[in-house]
A and B are shown apart, each in its own frame.
Chain A
């Protein structure tokens, strides 16, 4: 897992070299056999370039207008750079409090999710149970359930028990909604720890909890980190759930307050909104970098999805 990440950078160069060599050879051969190859390769580079620009352009505005003076929604750059937008929003009410709320909600959810899914994954990974398989498939199915559709009944449940606008209750719901995928991932990571390593602990009279805590979890620490970060990142960006369940502005996370900011000052203070967006997005990008280091590229994550 993590060795892949280290390998990636070192093999990237080697791969590039061999590919260039191969490409060169192919190029030389195609000169004789198929003259079509040249334009085709050119066309595929053109497609790559167009797609690259199409994906880049919406970002470009965001970064540019955050550091420009007096930027409204106009695209034409003024080329006068300043940090005034950042300075204007760096205060408790606008940035610090919502970011702290986001941190509490996301970290609380991630911690609770990791604990619950590590416990739940243990019997699913270790014992061959009659209902294990079907339980796992139910879990996987629940992963895909549209959260939006569950929100209305959850809200009426919360309203009935007076739980709307309560942070702990919100964390509990966010945990429940991230559990299905977290259990699935944790179980896959736990399957990678051989049972034979646990047997020594068992013969020493350790019960399942001791063996899970002192043998299995330390060996799958990178997997635990992945599940934690993944859950954290998902909840950091979660807009709909806190938008519905938390009403007091002091309790709302950045995803909700940034939307309020947008609907109130969006047209006039776009530069500030852009600056806020960048501050709000930065932790996610950083954590994603850590995540892909642990996973050796994002491929393994989607490999886990593949089943």
Chain B
């Protein structure tokens, strides 16, 4: 009985090997991948497609006005870009903006808040968390209005600083500082949440042991806590850097890139060139530079974590 049932199966096996088996496996794999279809289609058409398209457009003189034909111009856009003092300035401002508001502002303030609120009583923690997260949840444009009025000539900050004779028109005298402060205010909650989650994974025994050995609280932070949460630090830095790099609405609402070009970071300059002067090719080339800048920052962070590991 058993021999009888087994023999046809073994006999059929070599037959199937060449012909029916492979297509069936391919068909099964395709069947399994089918649910990915809609998402992949949308991502390909609206995400990957434009990205690849942008690589092509960046090497053309595509514009929406006048000239009907688009010509391949090679590196012309990039040559023009780095000869354009406003663009070079915008790149500088972007780096200042990212380092000032993301790497220093959001990152350090988020870390400070996470550390200082750890082990704090429920009420204090809830209230402070509520306000900080509130700033994060509020839509970008509303955050822009709030800061515009806060820093206005006769705004809240000047009303307070007026008592010390420090009041001035912040949005004109130091627009970069203004947008850096506003972006720090808006984004700190994210870093705070990431670091609170990371800190809760640090085993308290390690800190206690270090304390017993006489390590100061700074040394406990530097040699116990920070090394343990370094992966969270790197992924947090990467995410907030990429977000800040692309930041548009907040700066646009607060200063519009002005006065002059004093706070025109690359996204704002790109908007101006591509959508107000319709220089799509030129604008796309800037977008590519922005992506490369993001990749550079990411590489630096990954490099840092490798150095720390070895």
Contact = CB atoms under 8 A, between A and B. Distances in A.
B150 A302 contact: no
A224 interface: no
A59 B134 contact: yes
Given A52-B131, A75-B155, A152-B54, A255 B33 contact: no
A91 interface: no
A225 interface: no
Contacts of A177: 46-47
Contacts of A55: 128, 131-132, 134-135, 185, 188
B62 to A, nearest CB: 7
Contacts, number: 265
Interface string A5-21: 00000001101100110
A146 B290 contact: yes
Nearest to B275: A244
Interface string B204-239: 000000000000000000000000000010010011
A66 B308 CA distance: 51
A244 B140 CA distance: 16
Nearest to B289: A149
A57 B156 contact: yes
Contacts of B185: 54-55, 58
Given A119-B36, A142-B47, A179-B42, A302 B194 contact: yes
Contact of A51 (B36, B113, B238): B113
Nearest to A183: B39
Contact of A75 (B62, B124, B159, B235): B159
Interface in A229-253: 233, 236-237, 239-240, 243-244
B257 interface: no
User: Secondary structure at chain A's binding surface: helix, strand, loop or mixed?
Assistant: helix
Interface in B83-116: 109, 112-113, 116
Nearest to A173: B46
B146 interface: yes
Contacts of B197: 299, 302-303, 306
A273 B275 CA distance: 26
A179 B232 CA distance: 23
B35 A149 contact: no
Nearest to B38: A116
Contacts of B249: 239-240, 243
B193 to A, nearest CB: 4
A294 to B, nearest CB: 15
Contacts of B121: 16, 19-20, 23
B39 A120 contact: yes
A144 interface: yes
Interface in A120-155: 120, 122-124, 127, 129, 142, 144-155
Nearest to A212: B35
Contacts of A119: 35-39
B40 interface: yes
A156 B47 contact: no
B133 A298 contact: yes
Contacts of A255: 139-141
A196 interface: no
- Residue of A151, A154, A173 ringed by the most chain B CB atoms within 10 A: A151
B290 A148 contact: yes
A142 B139 contact: no
B128 A145 contact: no
Interface residues of B, number: 98
Contact of B150 (A13, A61, A273): A61
A117 B40 CA distance: 10
Nearest to B182: A58
B122 A15 contact: yes
A212 to B, nearest CB: 8
Contacts of B135: 55, 58-59
Nearest to A147: B246
A157 B290 contact: no
A148 B290 CA distance: 9
Interface string B27-71: 001011111111110110111011101100100001010000000
Contacts of A117: 39
A85 interface: no
A120 to B, nearest CB: 4
List 7 A-B pairs, minimum CB-CB distance, nearest first: A146-B246, A237-B139, A176-B46, A153-B54, A120-B39, A153-B50, A148-B246
Interface of B: 29, 31-40, 42-43, 45-47, 49-51, 53-54, 57, 62, 64, 109, 112-113, 116-117, 119-124, 126-128, 131-135, 137-143, 145-150, 152-159, 185, 188, 190, 193-194, 196-198, 200, 232, 235, 238-239, 242-243, 245-249, 253, 267, 270, 274-275, 280, 283-284, 286-288, 290-291, 294
Given A62-B146, A146-B242, 17 more contacts: A58-B147, A59-B146, A61-B155, A62-B142, A65-B149, A116-B38, A123-B32, A129-B32, A152-B286, A153-B54, A153-B284, A172-B45, A175-B42, A176-B43, A259-B253, A280-B139, A284-B138
Interface of A: 12-13, 15-16, 19-20, 23, 44, 47-48, 51-52, 54-62, 65, 72-76, 115-117, 119-120, 122-124, 127, 129, 142, 144-157, 159, 172-173, 175-177, 179-180, 183, 208, 212, 233, 236-237, 239-240, 243-244, 255, 258-259, 262, 266, 270, 273-274, 277, 280-281, 284-285, 288, 298-299, 301-303, 305-307
14 contacts: A52-B131, A55-B188, A59-B134, A120-B36, A146-B242, A146-B243, A152-B287, A157-B53, A176-B42, A239-B140, A262-B253, A285-B134, A302-B197, A306-B232
